[in-house]
Amino acid sequence: MAQDGTTLDWIEGADRTAPWPQAKVVVAGLGRSGFAAADGLLDVGAQVTVLDDNDGSANAEKATVLEMLDADVRLGAGSTATLPDDVDLVITSPGWRPSAPLLAQAAARGIPIWGEVELAWRLQQPDRAVPWLAVTGTNGKTTTTQMLESMLLAAGLKACAVGNIGRPVMEAVLDETPYDVFAVELSSFQLHWSKSLAMHSSAVLNVEADHLEWYAGEGFAHGGGMADYAFDKAKIFERVRHSCVYNVADVVTEQMVEDADVTEGARAIGFTLGMPGMSMLGVVDDLIVDRAFVEQRKDSALELCSVSDVQPNAPHNIENALAAAALARSFGVGATAVRDGLRNLNLGGHRIQTVATRDEVTWVDDSKATNPHAANSSMRAFDHIVWIAGGQAKGTTFDDLVATHAAKLRGAVLLGVDRQVVAEALARHAPDVPVIVIDDTDTGAMAQAVRAAATMARRGDTVLLAPGCASLDMWSGYDARGDDFAAAVRAL
């Protein structure tokens, strides 16, 4: 802080050229984004203190590296309980809620709080500025960002996928590679702690209830809950310079574009599974076409690729491809690169992945469906389903999902800490659907669930692992849950 006890007055508009050696900055959390944030701050000469309650071996190794660069790293229980007295700026890990003691203390003292994404944006200005094409939404963010990156690479651009997809943006900003563009996946948490981002183009894929436990309590502009979750998502459109991409089927995303304070000249670009209107991308006769970035869009469209180029070509994944194509086209990527990017892409597992077909029963792993909206996307793709669901519901409900797909359900097998939440929705909206509840709480429960599902399935059915819930009650992640499902299916 300045000598008079107030935060340095230049922090509010700070970029790479600011007098960072004057600044005392606390980095809250030493995960991958925290380490990258500390590294970036040290690179510009800031006085950095890193705090994390976890003193495990991974953090200890990172602490050693940062301490060699003159950071003050404090690990162990209680390290994040109290904010140091002399602080000008706090950089928080994205998962930290505003009510966390360290952040609440910073807010009470009027100390700015940024996320690593905000810091990365600031530290690439003005001399290392790389355009950002950004993606958010309740579901499909990672897939869409991967599609976008593949399209950009197919166009011969130096591009990389960063953000919530795994690689911190700051890491790429510090990279010596002269990137042309970043494909940036952003979660609502990352957007919550951002305030000055100005994307080349942005997309909001969809907005449904998720992470409501994070948005409970104090510290939110609109009292918490769904209003603030949507408010944070909408921040991705603020100050957009070229294109705001929205989902025609999701009126919330369109309203976000209408409400956004964008740079003059920025356009609203819709995507739809139906016939596209002007300034939209859509589907015509099994072709993905562009009526937004063509000169004669009043009476013509440009063919980009075939629906069959999208794999898997379930409806929600075609929507992902449309959004990715809109962002790529906004950056001048040609139709051939859009097509080749989709064809070249090899998505990670656990996304509507067929594990086996046995006795005309198909077993599908969509462990990545960690909320009801994602599960809905899976269930739209199949006609007769034995549903394996449950886990951490994160404050969401399943009534709409069950009511929508009740007629498709042959049976349901429920497991996980919030299995009863799903069971109650089934009882209300699909009382005739047989339900088997697995009460075991170790990972062996998945093998039980698969065996139970096998007793329900008939020829022509799909046994679908689309939990609608997070996995950390029993597994290390959705991938481990999906792996256990696949192993149990193979054991049949």
pLDDT in tens, 401-435: 999 999 999 999 999 999 999 999 999 999 999 99
Sign of CA dihedral 50, 56, 62, 66: positive
Question: How does residue 374 score in pLDDT terms, banded at 50, 70 and 90?
Answer: confident
CA 424 to chain centre: 28
Binding residues for ATP: 137-143
- The 3-state DSSP class for residue 279 equals coil
Length of the chain: 492
User: pLDDT confidence of 159, banded at 50, 70, 90?
Assistant: very high
What is the model's pTM? 0.77
Q: Using CA atoms, how far apart are residues 83 and 106, in angstroms rounded to an integer? A: 7
Percent of the chain with pLDDT over 70: 98
Taking residues 364-384, report their average pLDDT: 89
Nearest to 229, CA basis, from 190, 269, 270: 190
Helix (H) or strand (E) holding 469: none
Alpha-carbon radius of gyration of the chain: 23
Query: Out of 137-141, 279-283, 344-348, 421-425, which region has the weakest mean confidence (pLDDT)?
Result: 344-348
Helices (DSSP H) in 32-187: which residue ranges?
32-43, 57-68, 101-108, 116-123, 141-154, 169-174
The mean per-residue pLDDT over the stretch 255-264 comes to 96
In angstroms, the CA 73 to CA 231 distance is: 34
Residue 7 — pLDDT band, cuts 50, 70, 90?
low
Instruction: Quote the pLDDT of residue 3.
Output: 44
* Positive or negative: CA dihedral 271, 273, 277, 278: positive
Residue 205: band (very low, low, confident or very high) from pLDDT cuts 50, 70, 90: very high
With cut-offs at 50, 70 and 90, classify the pLDDT of residue 4: very low
Q: At 102, list the tokens.
A: 């360290």
What is the pLDDT at residue 201? 98
Q: Which of 132, 130, 210 is nearest to 370 (CA)?
A: 210
For the annotated binding site, the residues are 137-143
Distance CA 275, CA 282 (A): 6
For position 481, what pLDDT does the model report?
A: 95
Q: Which two tokens stand for residue 44?
A: 């510009």
The answer to whether the CB of 344 falls within 8 A of the CB of 424 is: no
Backbone angles phi, psi at 35, to 5 degrees: -60, -45
Mean pLDDT across the stretch 308-332? Answer: 94
Residue scoring higher pLDDT (329 or 223):
329
Q: Does the pLDDT at position 188 exceed 70?
A: yes
What is the band of 6 on the pLDDT scale with cuts at 50, 70, 90?
low
Confidence (pLDDT) at 448: 95
Rounded distance between C-alpha atoms, residue 173 and residue 159, angstroms: 12
The Cα–Cα gap between 269 and 245 comes to 5
> 211 or 80: which carries more pLDDT confidence?
80
